[in-house]
Structure 1
């Protein structure tokens, strides 16, 4: 057994026994890189990535093109680093969506937060509920740029009808960190609410999320309850 192989085995066992609570970011990243670089010392690459992007979050948020610019980063490493936040978001969404009943904005915050985990572009999702408020599913609507995103009424209608929803909640994020709705957000909300009403579908709320905040247009009285 080589020195690097022994080091890898020790780090893996330390993680299995104690988790990551007291593990430094370079060692966390080193442990992760074991699975894209099957041989050799990956500690220098871990430090290079952290020096380039500033933090573990910065590494995982970096674009594939930016990751490829770091010497020593191959396609396996790019895929692995982008896969981690994507799996984390899917995991959180899977746990949160089970048996959700529409009740208040706190429920919506818990429901939607995983879907925007790590997002650096504006995205939108639609949560569909039955007449008793039971969640039928959450469907992606669109993804734009860090500052803009187009939400299609046709897409909303198609997804709601496909799940036989009678109540829907629209959600989108503001990567800027400010959850305050724009005038365009308010206009869009009223337009969607009025357009869905003849179809027997109620727009219960439109929520805007950031990494650590959420604004409910229903709670803020921007959206008139039907």
Structure 2
């Protein structure tokens, strides 16, 4: 039994070395999704074969996007996941979001629309509850505040007109971009989405605050109320 354990450990080390060499030679695109997670987990729990755990995580959360977006408690419910391995996943997510958010903040938002969509997709598209955020822009359309307004149930999160406008006045915002996600995977705007957007547009007009768009993120893509002619 001891000899078998030693052979398994040796095979695991060799497999990780092959993954590392593949990464060094060809970059991350050369690795399958489960191999990326497997190698990440191996750095946190080096004396364990992490391939089965990586595959279990991807099955549980529906892929890398769902895994990175899952909260700490949800990941902890997967057998074999402890604080160190969860922290490895969450620090990758945090680093990715920081990089994408910095790209958005560096230029006028309307001139870097794809960077904004990339950031929002990474942060919100795979969440299992609705999240509402309001992006506040100055007169040059530079991002001055990314406000996470709250999370809701699996199918709704409240957007209050008064809170949005009050916050915009506090920050001296010249324009807003409203954002929320649909956990169902379908980004199509609901009647409620359209109505609340129009209420915020009208309230903002009276104070000289523009609403550039309301973006709905989902696993299958995104919807822009402005692009659909609904603003």
Q: Which of 56, 69, 72 is the equivalent residue of 2:80? A: 72
What is the TM-score of this pair, normalised by structure 1?
A: 0.78
- The correspondence of residues 65-214 of structure 1 with structure 2, limited to 5 A, is 65-102=73-110, 109=117, 112-214=120-222
- Structure 1 distance, partners of 2:75, 2:109, is 40
- Note if contact 1:173-1:210 (Cα within 8 Å) is conserved in structure 2: yes
Instruction: Give the secondary structure class of the aligned counterpart of 1:176.
Output: coil
Distance in 2, matches of 1:49 and 1:178, equals 23
| Consecutive unaligned residues in structure 1, runs of 5 or more | none
For residues 53 and 206 of structure 1, the distance between their equivalents in structure 2, rounded to whole angstroms, comes to 27
Q: Is the 8 A contact 1:8 1:31 kept in 2?
A: yes
Do the aligned residues in 2 keep the contact of 1:141 with 1:152 (CA within 8 Å)? Answer: no
- Greater shift, 137-146 or 51-60, is seen at 51-60
Q: CA deviation at 1:56?
A: 4.4
- Residue 61 of structure 1 and its aligned partner are, at CA, apart by 5.0
1: distance between equivalents of 2:112 and 2:13?
52
Match of 1:20 among 24, 28, 32: 28
Give the Cα–Cα distance (whole angstroms) in 2 for the partners of residues 17 and 210 of structure 1.
34
Per-residue CA deviations over 1:100-145 (Å, capped at 9, x if unaligned) read 2436976864564444243232112212222343333332222112
- Shift of the 139–31 alpha-carbon distance from structure 1 to 2, 3 Å rule, reads same
Contact (CA 8 Å) 1:139, 1:159: kept in 2 or not?
Answer: no
Deviates more, 1:204-213 or 1:45-54: 45-54
Provide the TM-score with structure 2 as the length reference. 0.76
Q: Which has the higher helix share?
A: 2
Contact 1:93/1:114 (<8 A) preserved? no
Superposed displacement of residue 150, structure 1: 0.8
